[in-house]
Amino acid sequence: MTVPHLPAIGCRWYPSSKTCCMCGAKRDDLKLSDRVYKCINSSCVAHTITLDRDLNAALNLLNASNEYVRLAQPEDTPVDK
């Protein structure tokens, strides 16, 4: 089994607190002092709510790790008969 390499997970420079956990839109205008996140994508569910910035970052890292685990799973293969 080959495990895919996803360098963004856990990378110090991964913008987890500047990226929407719902749609992936990135806000470059956030400063470190900004403690809430609101999505800039008007068609996103998160556009209508305000999230704690740390919660948004945690959800992004959770989503990325779940994707990593999904990609690392062996593909379904038919059983030999």
Instruction: Read off the pLDDT band of 18 (50, 70, 90).
Output: very high
CB 53 within 8 A of CB 35: yes
Residue 26 is classified by DSSP as: B
- Which tens digits make up the pLDDT trace of 25-71? 999 999 999 999 999 999 998 889 899 999 999 999 898 888 777 77
Higher pLDDT, 81 or 72: 72
What Cα–Cα distance (Å) separates residue 79 from each residue in 2, 18, 25?
20, 44, 41
- For residue 33, the one-letter residue type is S
